[in-house]
């Protein structure tokens, strides 16, 4: 069975306190591990983005994935290994995002 590929975020300018909508989360329930590639292709002046996981696709259920926070203040290309995660994965920014950083996020789920 092939790996699962999800484009979690197309090139998108980010704002403070933004997050994936309920229709823009990765449903990786059939996978046992994953790797996310977070590319900051245009730096902003401040802020971070991070990944979160949840068993159900509801706002109050998501919790941060350890070691998935990426600075939006510089361009970067970061690989985040994810193991023992729940079913859904989304992105969220903090309240300090400024300067309209642009990010792309891709995830590969593996069996």
pTM of the model: 0.94
Chain segment 36-66, per-residue pLDDT in tens: 999 999 999 999 999 999 999 999 999 999 9
Which has the closest alpha carbon to 37: 90, 78, 88? 78
- CATH assignment of the domain containing 10: 2.60.120.200
Residue range(s) defining the domain that contains residue 102: 4-110
> E strands within 22-98?
26-27, 33-42, 48-54, 63-64, 70-71, 76-83, 88-93
Which ranges of the chain have pLDDT less than 50?
none
3-state secondary structure of 49: strand
What's the structural domain count of the chain? Answer: 1
């Amino acid at each position: 069975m092939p790996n699962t590929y999800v484009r979690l975020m197309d090139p998108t300018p980010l704002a403070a306190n933004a997050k994936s909508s309920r229709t823009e989360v990765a449903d990786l329930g059939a996978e046992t591990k994953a790797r996310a590639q977070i590319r900051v292709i245009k730096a902003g002046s401040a802020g971070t983005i991070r990944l979160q996981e949840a068993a159900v696709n509801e706002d109050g259920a998501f919790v941060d994935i350890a070691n998935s926070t990426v600075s939006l203040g510089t361009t970067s290309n970061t690989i985040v290994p994810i193991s023992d995660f729940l079913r859904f994965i989304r992105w969220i920014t903090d309240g300090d995002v400024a300067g309209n950083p642009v990010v792309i996020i891709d995830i590969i789920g593996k069996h």
